[in-house]
Structure 1
Amino acid sequence: MSEATGPVRLRVAPSPTGDPHVGTAYMSLFNLAFVRQQGGQFVLRVEDTDRARYRDDSEQQLYDTLSWLGLHWDEGPDKGGPFAPYRQSERLETYKPYVERLLADGHAYYCWCSTERLQEMREAQQAAKQPTGYDRLCYGKTREERAQLPGFSETPVVRMLIPDDAPLTFTDVIRGEVNAPRPDDQVILKADGFPTYHLAVVVDDYEMGITHVVRGEEWISSTPKHVLLYTWLGLPLPKFAHMPLLRNANKSKISKRKNPAARLTWFQEQGYLPEALRNFLALLGYSMPGGEEVFSFDDMVEHFDWKRVNTVGPVFDLDKLDWLNGHYIRSLSEDDLTDRLVARLQFDGLLGDEPRERDHEVVRAATPLVQTRMVRLNEAAGMIGFLLVDDHDLVVEDDALASLKDDAPAVLDAAVTALQPLADWSTAQIEASLRAALVDGLGIKPKFAFGPLRVAVTGRRVSPPLFESMEILGHASTLTRLMALRSRLG
C-alpha cells in the first residue's frame, strides 16, 4: 500500500474530557518541532465523540494552555482551515459512507448484543482464563435471527471483522519494525451514531491529509486495526511514530487522577515558565546532539531527528523541572521578569486587574532582590507581597513571632530611634544607621540584631535583603511597621 505523500502534515487530537493532560503538550511539542523543521502544517483536531465524558470548558482550556506554552497550531476549530470542521462531532456525516462501504465489502458487521450480555461474556472468559474479546455471536445473523437469542439490543453497533491473517507488524518511525497483539472485532460505530476513535482517527487523518501520526506508545496495540482500515478502504498509509509514555517515579503512567502534575494547568498554577516547561518536556523524550540540557524550541527544531527520541519511558522528575525553571528565571531581563511577576501577583490576587503605577515601581525595584532566589513564579507573593500590602494589613506569621528573643522590644526601640531622623533613605544609609545603633550600640550580633526588624517589616523569618526592602518600602511604612510590632510585644 502507498504512503501519504506531499508536505508534512501532523496533528494532535485531544479529547475535551477534563483539564488538558500534560501528555497533550508533550505530543504537540514533538509534532510541532518536526513540522516547523520540515515547513509543514500542524493541525489541532478535537476528538469529542466520547459524549459521556465530554466537558464544555475543556476545549477552551486546551486552547489557552497550549497557547500559553507557545505551541501554536496552523489549523483547528478556532482558526478554521481547508479541512474544516475540526471537531469530530461536526463530522458525523463524513464517517457514514466509510461504514457503509466496510459493511458492503464484508469487513464489518452489525452487533446487537446488549451491554449486560457483553459484560457476562467477558466475566466468563476471565473466569475460564481465556483472552477477552467479542465472541461473534451476531456475525452472519440477520436482525430477526439475532432477536431470537438472549441479550438483544434494539440499536446495533458496527464491528470490524478481523481476519485470522491480520497483519500484526508495522514500521514505526521511532522504533523500526514493531509487532502488536492480534486485535478483536473492534466496535467502529456506536449505538448513538458516533464513530469510535478507531474509525474516526483513520477517516479524519486521511481526509485532512495527515502524513505522520505521532502518538503515545499505548496506541501500538491499536495500530493493526488502523492499518486494516486503511487497507480495506484503499487509503494511503501515514507514517506512524509512537512516543514513550510519561511515567511517575514508580514507572506507572502519569495520570490526572493520581498526579496533579498530569494537568497542564497545574504548571501555570505553580509558576513555571513556558520556555522551561517546553525544555523539560523535550528532555523527557529527546537528546540534543551535543548533550545539552538547556536549549530552546528553535534549537530543537534545528536539530530535530526522530532517531534521537528515547523509547524508554521517561520519569517525570519535578526536581529537574525546578532546576530548569530557576535557570530560565535567572536568564530573563529584569523588565521581562517584572512583567511576569506583575501578572503572577495579579493571578494571586495581590494586585488588581489594573495595578497602580506605584505597584509596578515596587515590583520593578524588588525584582533584582528575588531573581536569583526564585525557583517558581508562585513564590513571588511570599517573597515580595509584604511590599504591596497596606501597613495595617501585614500579617506576621506565627513562626516569625515565635523566633523573637526577649531583646526584641529593645532592638525595635533602638531601630526606630535610629531611623526616624534619617534624611537619606537609601540602602547604604539604612544599613549604616542600624549597624551603629544595634550592633555597635546594643552590642548584638548582626544575625540577632536584624531578625526582629525583618519580622516587623516583612512578617516573615526569611525575606529578600532587609535594607534594600526597607528602601523600597519607604521611610514612613518602615517606621509604621517597626512601631506596630513593638506595640504588639508590649
Structure 2
Amino acid sequence: MNLFWRLYFMSIELKKLLFPNVTLTREELLNRYPERKVNVVTRFAPSPTGFLHIGGVYTSLINRKLASQNDGVFFLRLEDTDKKREVPGSRKIITNIFNHLGIKIDEGVVSDTKEIGLYGPYVQSNRVEIYHALAAYLVEKGYAYPCFATEEELEELRSRQELEGKTPGYYKEYAIYRDCPLDKVRALIEEGRPYVLRFRVPDDAHERIQVKDLIKGDLEMDNNFNDFVLLKADGIPTYHFAHACDDFLMHTTHVIRGDEWISSLPIHVELFNALGFKLPNYAHVAPVMKLDGESRRKLSKRKDPESNAEFYLEKGYPVKALFVYLYTLINSNFEEWYLANKDKDLDSFEMTFDAMAKSGPLYDIEKLNNISSEMIYDTPQEKNIENLLAWANEYNKDDYEILNNDLEFVKKILSTQGPNSREHRKDLKTYSDFMETFGFLYDDYFKNMSFDEINAFKENVPSERINKVLDAYIDYFTNTPEGTTLKDLAKNLGYTDKKKYNKNPELYVGLFTEFYQILNLALSHKVNCISVEDVIDVLGKEKVIARLGELKQWI
C-alpha cells in the first residue's frame, strides 16, 4: 500500500476514534442548507455579553442597508461559544434593542425565545452537531488532529522557542502531537487525557496571502502558520471555526465586521479552503472613535455611557435622529443627501462601500444632539406627545403618570416649542429632557426643586436689589400698565445693555440679563428658562404672581 492510501486510511480510523457517534456528513449539510435564491446575504453576529455597543448598531445598519438595497437577507446569529463571558438575559437585551430601533431581522434570533428561518439553529451552542460533523470531515481530509499538550508542555515549548530565537506558537516541529501515531492517540484517549482538536496548516501553505476588502481595498499579509484550535476540550468550537462553518452554511455573501478581525483573515481563508467552501466578500469597518484630549480612542464600555446602545433608548433620542447621525459616519456623502432630502425615507439613500472611511470616524454626541433637537422641533405636536408618552411609559413610569394625567397641559407646554411657537424654541434634545426642562411648570415638581441656583445668584446680587425687582414684577403683572414692556420696566429700575454698562457702569444698577434672571429664578428656580410670555400662557398670570411672591418671602 503506498503512502497516500496509508495516510488516507489512518485519517479514516482517526475520524472514527475521535467522532464515533458522528454520522452527519458534509454532503448532507450542503443538502440541508441549499444555496439561497438571493444575491446578498448579510448578518450581525454578537456575543451575549450583556451589552450591545453602539458600534454594533452602526455595523448592523450597514449590513441591513446592503441587504435591503439588493433585495437580500439580513439575519442575526448569536455567537455564544465563550460561556465564560456570557451574561444571562443578553439575548433579550439585544433583540429588544433591535425591535425598539426598528432594525428588521429577516431571519435568525428575533426575541429571547424565538428564531425564524430555514438556516438555523441561529444560536451557536445549538449547532454543535454541525461543527462536529465538519470537524470530522477535516480529520478525514488530514486537516485536523487531536492535541493532548498540557499547560506544562506548552510552557516548555514557549521557553524552548525563546531560547532558540523562534517565533512563539504551535507549529511544524513545535507541534508535538501533530504526527502522533494512531495507537498512541487511542491509548491517550482511553487513559482519559483531555485534548483539543487543532487545524493542521498545510506544509505547502503560501507565506503571504492576498484578500480583497470592499472598504480597505487589496490586503496583503503574512499567512497563518500556527496549528490553531478548532474544538476546545469540551467539544465547543472556537470563534474562527464556528464562523467559517456558519457563514458558509447560512450562505453569507458579505461578512461586514470591525477591522479588528483583519488579522484573523489568514485563519479564515485557510479554513474556508480546507472545508471546500467559497470565501464570502469581506468588508472591515473602521471603529467609531472619540476625541479624548488631543488623541483619538475607541468608544469605551467603561468610560463612555454613549457606547451602550441602550443609552439612546433610555435618553429618548428619536430613532430616526440616531440613524441619520450614524449614516453620516457610515457614508461621507450622506449628510449632503439628507439636507436635500429630509422628507424622504432613509431607505432611499444608496449606501456604497466607496464612501466609507478607511480610518475610524469621530463620534460627536453634540452633533447627534443637534440633529435630534432639530428633529423634535420639526415633529408635529401630536406626534411629539405620542413619542414622549411612549418613551416615559417604557423608561420613566413616574413621568408617564404625570404626563398622562393631563395631556392638555402637555400640549400647552409643547406649544412653546417648534416652528409655530412664539420664539421658535428648541429646548428638547431628547424626550428625557422634558421634565428636566419643563418640570418647573408642574406645581408638585416645582415645590421639590433645588434652590442651588438661587443661592448662587444671591452671592453676587444683594437681596435688597432682588426684592426691588420682584416688587416691580408683581406690580407689573398685577396691573400690566398699557404700553409698558418688561424692557421699559428694566430701564426704569436702572438696568441697561452691556455696551452702555461697560462705558458708564456707575450710571446703572446692572445688565438686562440680571433683571430677567431674577424673573426666571422666581418662575423656575433656574437662571434660564422659557420666556415669561410662554410661562403665562401655560400657568396663567395668577400663578406667575404667586411664584414671584414666594421667592420674595424666601429672599
- The worse-fitting range, judged by mean Cα deviation, of 409-418 and 120-129 is 120-129
Q: CA distance change for structure 1 residues 101 and 146 in 2, over 3 Å: closer, same or farther?
A: closer
> Using the alignment, how far apart are the partners of 1:335 and 1:444 within structure 2?
41
1:403 aligned counterpart, secondary structure:
helix
Could you tell me the TM-score, scaled by structure 1's length? 0.85
- Conserved 8 A contact 1:362-1:387: no
Aligned partner letter, 1:74: D
Q: CA distance change for structure 1 residues 393 and 126 in 2, over 3 Å: closer, same or farther?
A: farther
- 1:410 corresponds in structure 2 to 468
> Using the alignment, how far apart are the partners of 2:214 and 2:54 within structure 1?
23
Match of 1:262 among 298, 307, 332: 307
Q: Deviations over 1:142-163 (max 9, x none)?
A: 58858999xx993211111122
> Using the alignment, how far apart are the partners of 1:318 and 1:129 within structure 2?
48
Q: Deviations over 1:255-293 (max 9, x none)?
A: 323433322122334443322222222222322289446
- Conserved 8 A contact 2:403-2:410: no
1:463 aligned counterpart, secondary structure:
coil
- 2:404 corresponds in structure 1 to 356
> Using the alignment, how far apart are the partners of 2:125 and 2:72 within structure 1?
26
User: Are 1:64 and 2:96 counterparts?
Assistant: yes
Aligned partner letter, 2:320: E
Q: CA distance change for structure 1 residues 164 and 336 in 2, over 3 Å: closer, same or farther?
A: farther
Residues 255-404 of structure 1: pairs in structure 2 closer than 5 A: 255-288=300-333, 291-292=336-337, 294=339, 298-299=345-346, 302-344=349-391, 347-348=395-396, 351-353=399-401, 355-358=403-406, 360-370=407-417, 371-390=425-444, 393-404=447-458
Match of 1:465 among 531, 537, 540: 531
Structure 2 unpaired stretches of 5+: 1-34, 418-424, 497-511
Aligned partner letter, 1:325: S
> Using the alignment, how far apart are the partners of 1:161 and 1:410 within structure 2?
88
- 2:175 corresponds in structure 1 to 136
Aligned partner letter, 1:94: I
- Conserved 8 A contact 1:189-1:195: yes
Q: CA distance change for structure 1 residues 449 and 301 in 2, over 3 Å: closer, same or farther?
A: closer
Aligned partner letter, 2:453: D
Post-superposition offset of 1:5: 7.0
- 1:166 corresponds in structure 2 to 205
User: Are 1:98 and 2:134 counterparts?
Assistant: yes
Q: CA distance change for structure 1 residues 69 and 433 in 2, over 3 Å: closer, same or farther?
A: farther
Q: CA distance change for structure 1 residues 244 and 443 in 2, over 3 Å: closer, same or farther?
A: closer
Identity %: 30
> Using the alignment, how far apart are the partners of 2:440 and 2:348 within structure 1?
43
> Using the alignment, how far apart are the partners of 2:546 and 2:78 within structure 1?
57
- The worse-fitting range, judged by mean Cα deviation, of 84-93 and 46-55 is 84-93
- 1:425 corresponds in structure 2 to none
- Conserved 8 A contact 2:49-2:86: yes
2:535 aligned counterpart, secondary structure:
helix
Could you tell me the TM-score, scaled by structure 2's length? 0.76
Post-superposition offset of 1:471: 2.4
- 1:84 corresponds in structure 2 to 120
Post-superposition offset of 1:320: 3.0
Residues 193-204 of structure 1: pairs in structure 2 closer than 5 A: 193-204=235-246
> Using the alignment, how far apart are the partners of 1:127 and 1:69 within structure 2?
55
- Conserved 8 A contact 1:246-1:314: yes
Q: CA distance change for structure 1 residues 125 and 254 in 2, over 3 Å: closer, same or farther?
A: farther
Aligned partner letter, 1:47: E
User: Are 1:175 and 2:241 counterparts?
Assistant: no
Structure whose alpha-carbon radius of gyration is higher: 2
Aligned partner letter, 2:194: T
Post-superposition offset of 1:73: 0.9
Post-superposition offset of 1:354: 7.3
> Using the alignment, how far apart are the partners of 2:493 and 2:217 within structure 1?
76
User: Looking at both structures, which has the greater relative contact order when contacts are Cα pairs under 8 Å and sequence separation is at least 6?
Assistant: 1
> Using the alignment, how far apart are the partners of 1:36 and 1:164 within structure 2?
43
RMSD between aligned residues: 3.3
- Conserved 8 A contact 1:416-1:483: yes
- 1:253 corresponds in structure 2 to 298
- Conserved 8 A contact 1:348-1:381: no
> Using the alignment, how far apart are the partners of 2:527 and 2:244 within structure 1?
60
